[in-house]
Structure 1
Amino acid sequence: MRVTLRSVAEAAGVSTASVSYAFNRPDRLSPEMRSRILAVARELGYSGPDAAARSLRTGRANAIGVIFTTELTYAFSDPYVLALLGGLAETLAQSRTSLVLIPFAPVVAGLSDAQVRESLDAVHRAVIDGAVADGLTDDHPAVRALSERSLPLVRSSDTTAGRCVLIDDRQAGREIGRHLADLGHHEVAVVVSSPGEPGCAITVEEEAALYPYSRHRLAGIREALPARARVRVVSGGNNAAAAGRLAATALLAAPDRPTAIAADSDVLAAAVVEVATVQGLRVGRDLSVTGFDDVPLAASTGLTTVRQPIHEKGRLMARMLLDPDNTPNRLTLPTELVVRSSTGPVPSHRLGGM
């Protein structure tokens, strides 16, 4: 026979409410009673109330979904993702709300209808009260699926149809471009997170398919550099160190290598510094490198980068979902250019430009 909350209550000689409290509200019971109920539950093989059934009864799942467009194993190695999850968890813990991680195919273009449906299935089945999504556009299938379920969604990218916590990526890009221009650089490569193979050049036409934050940062860099500057855009793959090393190797092997490389994450920038150093280049003198985010490895690497409040972004996204009536629909957080040793004046023998 299937073991239920009621059968545990009967075996323990308590009410069904007490069994529910033992799993969900331990503060309502004495430690001794909770221990006795849990011991009976273990003996009967009962693991706890069914979350889906409970949400149907109460109308709430007490859980928030996080849409990932990366492999979950990779997500837990990305310092940006970890900081964002930390901010989300800090706020959600105060209301005993859980996080549900929902993976989605990294690249939708080129997938068959069946493959898209497979990714969407996780979104449709998730027992959640709302979701946060990092960098997804209005037309992304996951965004549309959540809208069809009438679930509240908070994003980190600009949207006219929903709530968002964002930074001004374009302005942050301008700060990087202006800094490099002031140092005399006009041979600049930009390494962006991209579904493409690391090290491959990205054409102007292909830039439209980049993640929103990459497009905005790239646009800002271009706007701040002098008109005669040459800007090359290269794929940094999935924003991992190995991909960044491939991108850096391709750029530095070129006969007309850039005098500055601007990466749209500190992970990619640190990989560029590593490759350049191995090749005997003096970072900050022979080659300037910038990153983005100011995660812990940026300081230890001496990276010039843009600091953004990632933890605070996650905290505020969670707050918007938990308390929509007392939070704004849109928040733009400040960024700051942090100058360190990885950038310096263009080498004298490259002052002639292109």
Structure 2
Amino acid sequence: MDRPSRTRPPATLASLAAELGVSRTTVSNAYNRPDQLSPQLRSRVMEAARRMGYPGPDPMARSLRTRKAGAVGLLLAEQASYAIRDPGAVAFLEGLTLECDEAQVGLLLVPARPGSEDIAGVTRAAVDGFVVYSMPDDDPHLTAALARPVPSVICDQPSISGTDSVGIDDKAAIRQVAEHLLSLGHHRIGVICMRLGRARMDGPVPIERQQSARYHVQRNRLLGLRDACNAAGVAWDRIPVVERFEHTVEAGQSAAAEVLALDPGITALIATSDVLALGAITELTRRHQRVPEDVSVTGFDGVKTAVDFGLTTVEQPVVDKGRNAGRMLLSPARKAAGRRIVLPTRFLPGRTTAPPRH
């Protein structure tokens, strides 16, 4: 009768320590606090671990013991791919990851797809805190994140009393754009904006929707444009405003076409983002309308592609937003929530604006 083969039990922290004749703390430090060991001792521990098939300390067990996940959650109202393809999101992610790297913590993307009501990804996320990136004020994922017993920092929107936040003065920043166009003599202006709510809507935006927008950044940018136009005697309710749910060059192109259908005689087109503005320029070029000779175009954000093109825009420090959000969340000295950081912006007149032809 064949004897059953004996399999070697899996290596554990204790068995590895016994094999090496060191304490379990020494083995643990080789993984979690390598600076506490000499390079020679750590190499000896890691080589023995490789030989014995020891995978390292169980991260879940360590999490239960320390009550720390060792990661920050980035909550965004998009699919995860948005964070690596949208230029603004990429810049913000760069700043946030720099702070995470310095603090030696990981970063977990927690996407909240538009229209989704499933908050399980938020409630189950093993994170020590959330950075909320540009969410509408009625998103259930936002509510779920703020209900967790961990700190949160909101970047851009929404503005919630008692919650740390970092952003810019969108209303004042975009007002400079409108005042620039008005000073050049433009009075027939069109506007294309990013989504104003969670439900998919594409098309002209009535005043009521502008004022009740769930995305506070877009609401404030439209308010800034309205105030500048009204102050110059240009009736805001006569200006066509078109919304696009998707934030792509293609969306900007179709939005520009819709604005031009509503008022073929406009001499200036304001986009509330550079991405949409570049789409508008694509549409005008397709129609053989020259920028800025026939139609002036402006954007907002100061993304590299737009600045290199020479777009008239507002530059905002997006990388610094990410760094400040991470710093606020990870600061060991954080005591009270409700701090607000407002970063400066810079108006960049470019080659896409000029006085209207008469």
Alpha-carbon shift at residue 280 of structure 1 (Å): 1.6
Deviation sequence 1:22-59 (CA, Å, 0-9, x none): 33333333444444544554566554433333222112
Q: CA contact under 8 A between 1:198 and 1:243: conserved in structure 2?
A: no
1:140 — aligned with what? 139
Q: CA contact under 8 A between 1:198 and 1:246: conserved in structure 2?
A: no
Identity %: 39
2:217 — aligned with what? 213
For residue 223 of structure 1, the aligned residue among 227, 245, 248 is 227
For residue 300 of structure 2, the aligned residue among 281, 292, 303 is 292
Alpha-carbon shift at residue 170 of structure 1 (Å): 1.0
1:249 — aligned with what? 257
> Do structure 1's residue 347 and structure 2's residue 344 form an aligned pair?
no
The farther-off stretch of 186-195 and 150-159 is: 186-195
Alpha-carbon shift at residue 10 of structure 1 (Å): 4.7
Alpha-carbon shift at residue 294 of structure 1 (Å): 0.6
The farther-off stretch of 41-50 and 15-24 is: 41-50
1:180 — aligned with what? 181
Q: Secondary structure at the match of 1:87?
A: helix
Alpha-carbon shift at residue 248 of structure 1 (Å): 2.6
Alpha-carbon shift at residue 243 of structure 1 (Å): 2.1
2:63 — aligned with what? 55
Alpha-carbon shift at residue 262 of structure 1 (Å): 1.4
Q: CA contact under 8 A between 2:242 and 2:258: conserved in structure 1?
A: no
Alpha-carbon shift at residue 333 of structure 1 (Å): 1.3
> Do structure 1's residue 87 and structure 2's residue 95 form an aligned pair?
yes
TM-score, normalisation: structure 2: 0.85
Q: Which runs of structure 2 are paired with 1:1-354 in the superposition (5 Å)?
A: 4-10=12-18, 14-42=22-50, 46-107=54-115, 116-117=117-118, 120-137=119-136, 139-156=138-155, 157=157, 158-194=159-195, 200-207=203-210, 208-225=212-229, 226-229=233-236, 230-253=238-261, 256-323=264-331, 324-325=334-335, 329-348=339-358
Residues 183 and 56 (structure 1), Cα distance of their counterparts in 2 relative to 1, 3 Å cut: same
Deviation sequence 1:258-317 (CA, Å, 0-9, x none): 322211211111121222223222112211111111111122111111111111111111
Please tell me whether Structure 1 or Structure 2 has the larger radius of gyration of its CA atoms. Answer: 2
Q: CA contact under 8 A between 2:76 and 2:134: conserved in structure 1?
A: no
Distance 1:164 1:52 in 2: 30
Residues 35 and 203 (structure 1), Cα distance of their counterparts in 2 relative to 1, 3 Å cut: farther
Q: CA contact under 8 A between 2:100 and 2:106: conserved in structure 1?
A: yes
5+ residue gaps, structure 1: 349-354
Distance 1:50 1:69 in 2: 32
Q: CA contact under 8 A between 1:305 and 1:338: conserved in structure 2?
A: yes
The farther-off stretch of 321-330 and 51-60 is: 321-330
The farther-off stretch of 240-249 and 15-24 is: 15-24
Alpha-carbon shift at residue 162 of structure 1 (Å): 0.9
Distance 1:145 1:52 in 2: 23
Q: CA contact under 8 A between 2:129 and 2:329: conserved in structure 1?
A: yes
Distance 2:217 2:149 in 1: 26
C-alpha RMSD over aligned residues: 2.6
Count of paired positions:
339
Residues 301 and 36 (structure 1), Cα distance of their counterparts in 2 relative to 1, 3 Å cut: same
Residues 20 and 301 (structure 1), Cα distance of their counterparts in 2 relative to 1, 3 Å cut: same
Distance 1:246 1:47 in 2: 53
Distance 2:349 2:40 in 1: 57
Residues 242 and 9 (structure 1), Cα distance of their counterparts in 2 relative to 1, 3 Å cut: farther
Deviation sequence 1:224-254 (CA, Å, 0-9, x none): 0133353222123321222222223333455
Residues 284 and 12 (structure 1), Cα distance of their counterparts in 2 relative to 1, 3 Å cut: farther
Distance 1:288 1:2 in 2: 69
Give 1:300's aligned amino acid: D
Give 1:332's aligned amino acid: V
Deviation sequence 1:308-327 (CA, Å, 0-9, x none): 11111111111111222499
Residues 4 and 222 (structure 1), Cα distance of their counterparts in 2 relative to 1, 3 Å cut: farther
Alpha-carbon shift at residue 340 of structure 1 (Å): 0.4
Q: CA contact under 8 A between 1:65 and 1:100: conserved in structure 2?
A: yes
TM-score, normalisation: structure 1: 0.85
Give 2:205's aligned amino acid: I
